[in-house]
Structure 1
Amino acid sequence: MENFTPFLSLAGGLVLGISATLLFAGGRIAGISGIIGGLVPPSDPEKKWRLLFLLGLIGGAALYPIIGGDISYISLNPYGFADQLHFAALIVGGLLVGIGTQVGGGCTSGHGVCGIGRLSVRSIAATLTFMAVAGIVVFIIRTVVGG
């Protein structure tokens, strides 16, 4: 827990919650898979806000180190995979996430941030499932794989 920052985490959570609330007040859900999925149809009238949301998401992450945020602890290859295996794992992982968002009717941000706020039983069940699987994966990686 060497990088534990409770106040920054609280501030980030508040900004995220306020943003999701404002978007929801406009009749939209701040689920990333739905926002990106809505960019695919070329005639989508809501394409502009979706692009701006996505640019803000990427731009905020890009801006963080520029304004002094520490990213030295981030590793692009945390388990030491060979480059080819690492690249394959990223592709397989991305495909599994895409399939999971289709099967689960949304992603962690849509269910966890927005769905729980609306007291959606489906979103609560989905978020509990995400968290349980994440815990199992961490356990397997740390004990079985040895990461």
Structure 2
Amino acid sequence: MELTTEIKQYVNRSVLCWLATVSTENVPNVSPKEVFDYYESDKIIIANISSPQTVENIKRNNNVCVSFIDILVQKGFQIKGKAEIIGKTDSDFEEMEKVLTKMTNGKFPFATITKITIGQIKPIIAPKYFLYPETTEKEQIESAKKAYGIKNEL
């Protein structure tokens, strides 16, 4: 499956993503990730800054789910796929590192990268859009700003 322009835009607008993995004992683990981006046409890459449980789970079971939303619009995507841990000795590491380092300006070192090859994509949409179909994104943004205490800039 390929990432559409819309999905790439949501990746760029999302502050965090959440990566779900599972242990060999079937214990779920969800970890917020701040440094992530799309890569090529069918992959998401995530810097492993401080995620030993995530890395260990992926080594044993590479099925993962990553979700990201624009918190104001309250829309985004859930992506399921197969993850691979890319280390500094892997041929792809340097190119992926350049993509992720742009986001951090080198301030967050990481030894590995999680590369997720996409298998399934599903939109995430706040229930308000279904319950009240007349809801516009502009109205949703204003509602979210109020809920989160975000003041409009002057």
TM-score (norm 2): 0.22
Bigger fraction of residues in strand: 2
TM-score, normalised via structure 1 length? 0.22
Judging by fraction of residues, say which structure has more helix: 1
